[in-house]
């Protein structure tokens, strides 16, 4: 569920989430 919502937010705040997403992905991995 969180990942789905993150995808939507990523499209709007891609610049800001770009760095955060990398960290989150690494954490989930």
pLDDT band at 29 (very low <50, low <70, confident <90, very high): low
Q: How far is the C-alpha of 15 from the C-alpha of 22, rounded, in Å? A: 12
Structural domains of the chain, count:
1
Residue 23's domain comprises 1-28
Range 4-28 average pLDDT: 72
pLDDT band at 2 (very low <50, low <70, confident <90, very high): low
Range 2-19 average pLDDT: 70
CB 17 within 8 A of CB 9: yes
User: Angle CA(18)–CA(22)–CA(24) in degrees, nearest 5?
Assistant: 115
Q: What is the reported pTM? A: 0.26
Write down the mean pLDDT value for the chain.
70
């Amino acid at each position: 569920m969180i990942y789905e919502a993150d995808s939507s937010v990523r499209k709007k705040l891609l610049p800001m989430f770009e760095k955060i997403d990398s960290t989150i992905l690494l954490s989930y991995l």
